[in-house]
Homo-oligomer: A and B are copies of this chain.
Amino acid sequence: MGVIRNTKSVQLVTEFFNSTKEAIGVVDLVEKFSEQMNKSTIYRILDRLEDEGKVHAFLGVNGLKHYAKCKDCSHTEHVDVHPHFQCTTCGKVECVSYEISIPKLPNKNIAQAQLLLTGTCERCTS
């Protein structure tokens, strides 16, 4: 349970997430960095960054894992309450700054809510 080491690969991934506020699917990230690092490495780096709260993870419409770094992501414990939006035309995925209201259910204890919105983004809405 040591410290995250500042390797070349970690730097590359971190820089990427600092450069965009969009979310990205792990598969795309693996493809993007296919020359620089191994698939396993990416999965493991993302795990560590998530543990540290540097990025947060969620599932896209197809059930594929996505990661993003949003403004909420610097807190020690990231509580993922904001929705995500995925464009069904261009595939773009992003965090939505909008606090969703979690419904109360009788006798149930709701710990987390994941809201995924799908449709067409500004560019793809004709």
* B113-A116 in contact (CB<8A): yes
Q: Which residues of B contact A120 (CB under 8 A)?
A: 108-109, 111
- Size of A's binding interface in residues, CB under 8 A: 33
What are 27 inter-chain pairs, A to B, with CB distance below 8 A? A59-B59, A61-B114, A63-B63, A63-B64, A83-B103, A85-B105, A98-B103, A100-B103, A101-B101, A102-B117, A103-B117, A105-B117, A106-B122, A107-B121, A107-B125, A108-B119, A109-B120, A110-B117, A110-B118, A110-B119, A112-B117, A112-B118, A113-B118, A114-B115, A114-B116, A114-B118, A115-B115
Indicate how many identical chains form the complex: 2
Q: Is the interface of A mostly helix, strand, loop or mixed?
A: loop
Q: Which residues of A contact B (CB under 8 A)?
A: 59, 61, 63-65, 83, 85, 88, 96, 98, 100-103, 105-122, 125
